[in-house]
Structure 1
């Protein structure tokens, strides 16, 4: 059996897990998330821990994936996920106007990005963007979408980058 699937998931206080035939629902202080039931995987709760086991020990291909997805749901509804972006470049700025993010990225026009449902955007400073939400995949998607407006270029490193992302700069042409 998968090493990942063998590890139990601790169920924090205030988080409620419901297993049905068509899917699994997790409710917590930050909201509610659900996922469809994966085939050949059984989920049960014992002593405040969630255990994921394959229906057939010989066929455990979905057990590790199901456990990882379930752990992400539980962490999302209890703590939430956060992704930080940095704007690097002269004149690159971010500001909030309601739920819309206004980005000044060196184009002739400002880029306006509407936050999807379940995602909150914050700008602690003009060069930082915080993306928060309960769904790990959606937080990552939104961060990648905002980064795609102006990805870091390889010569000066200007653009939108993830916090802590290391950009390898190329050498300029030599005459």
Structure 2
């Protein structure tokens, strides 16, 4: 049995969860999120507690129970507190700036790279080298951060590139002169 799937999701005061057929919607102070449910998963809402049930005989259905419990918990956390990802630019002349709904990155290419932020994701740039992404949808936020990182991933010799703030880059030794 799924240990995570068995745990109920406790709803905070200002959060409303509703079911419409196979769609679950979560409304909170920061916004509104919706998700389509899998047919094998049953959800019940009673007294600000959401429980997820499924047939325990099939391993895939038990895995879906844990998955949807985590997804609903992430939705509730997103509409109450929100999520944040920090990216850092490392390299000489590397900088970022915000123009409208776009992030302009100068990361060593001949021309600046323009990245359009997805809907629901906002960005803030500090010291021209630190990007702070925030939003209520954890999946969209993580994918946007990964797409920005893919523009110039960090390289292992000098550590130049775009990396997560808490990421450690394993450094390699460079070439050494040959001994005669």
SS in structure 1 of the partner of residue 63 of structure 2: coil
Q: Write out per-residue CA displacement over residues 32-75 of structure 1, whole angstroms, 9 at most, x where no aligned residue.
A: 11111112211112332211111x23232311111011111111
State the match for 2:67 in structure 1. 65
Gaps of 5+ in 1: none
State the match for 1:9 in structure 2. 9
Q: Write out per-residue CA displacement over residues 65-112 of structure 1, whole angstroms, 9 at most, x where no aligned residue.
A: 110111111111111111000001111111112221111111111111
| Within-5 A mapping of 1:1-175 | 1-54=1-54, 56-59=55-58, 60-175=62-177
Q: CA RMSD in A?
A: 1.2
CA–CA separation in structure 2 for the residues paired with 1:160 and 1:61: 34
- My pick for the range that moved more, 142-151 or 38-47, is 38-47
Q: How many residues align?
A: 174
SS in structure 2 of the partner of residue 12 of structure 1: coil
CA–CA separation in structure 2 for the residues paired with 1:136 and 1:104: 26
TM-score by length of 1: 0.95
Gaps of 5+ in 2: none
Instruction: Give the Å deviation of 1:144.
Output: 0.7
Q: Is the 8 A contact 1:101 1:115 kept in 2?
A: yes
CA–CA separation in structure 2 for the residues paired with 1:46 and 1:30: 23
TM-score by length of 2: 0.92
Q: Is the 8 A contact 2:22 2:38 kept in 1?
A: no
CA–CA separation in structure 1 for the residues paired with 2:27 and 2:47: 18
